[in-house]
């Protein structure tokens, strides 16, 4: 259930929760239509109600996945209750400055980014590494995308080596490798 606060900081009653989820989904759909985006609604994090002269403004902080990566977004939705009119006034990405550990090293997006890092390393260094597996990863949202810090294993001939890679992801089409470096030889 969402953490909500209402008028003057009072708690919103539970039965309005479904309506706020409806408005959050509406905001994501409107944003997708206007921006040709592909966000997928996940959940409402927080909602605040602000009554205005001709209706109610809902300020909704929500989670939506952008190409498989959960991100925070903030929507401002105006509802003219007398007519049922709903309008998306604002929708923007909320930048989080904290890193998130990814517990599942088999996450397909992380694995794809790790393989991308190995391919880029091979291209830049004329090397012939073969991706083996992701050991651990964490992601950090930055102003224009996400940084993925990935510890991975790659085969170099007969040796399996451990590497650290930093991959910058700005949407699915914009990947660039910030760096990859070898750590140690593993048996």
pLDDT digits (tens, 9 = 90+) for 9-39: 444 444 568 899 999 999 999 999 999 889 9
pLDDT in tens, 66-112: 877 788 889 999 999 889 899 999 998 875 544 556 666 788 888 98
Domain end call among 78, 94, 110: 94
Number of domains in the chain: 2
Domain end call among 94, 123, 153: 94
Domain end call among 94, 117, 132: 94
Judge if 86 and 166 occupy the same domain. no
Q: Strand, coil or helix: what is 147?
A: strand
Residue 123 domain boundaries: 99-186
Q: Assess contact for 145 and 139: CB atoms under 8 A.
A: no
């Amino acid at each position: 259930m969402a953490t909500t606060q209402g008028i003057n900081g009072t708690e919103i009653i539970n039965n309005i929760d479904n309506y706020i989820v409806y408005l959050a989904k509406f905001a994501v759909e409107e944003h997708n239509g206007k921006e040709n985006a592909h966000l997928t609604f996940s959940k409402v994090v927080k909602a605040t109600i602000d009554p205005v002269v001709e209706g109610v403004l809902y300020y909704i902080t929500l989670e939506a996945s952008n190409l498989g990566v959960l991100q925070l977004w903030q929507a401002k939705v105006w509802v003219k209750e007398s007519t049922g009119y709903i309008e998306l006034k604002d929708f923007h990405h909320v930048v989080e400055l904290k890193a998130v550990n990814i517990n599942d090293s088999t996450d397909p997006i992380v694995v794809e980014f790790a393989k991308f890092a190995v391919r880029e390393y091979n291209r830049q260094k004329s090397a012939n590494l073969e991706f083996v597996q992701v050991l651990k990863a964490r992601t950090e949202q930055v102003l224009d995308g996400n940084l993925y810090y990935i510890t991975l294993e790659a085969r170099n001939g007969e040796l399996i080596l451990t590497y650290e890679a930093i991959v910058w992801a700005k949407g699915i089409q914009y990947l660039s490798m910030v760096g990859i470096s070898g750590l140690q030889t593993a048996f």
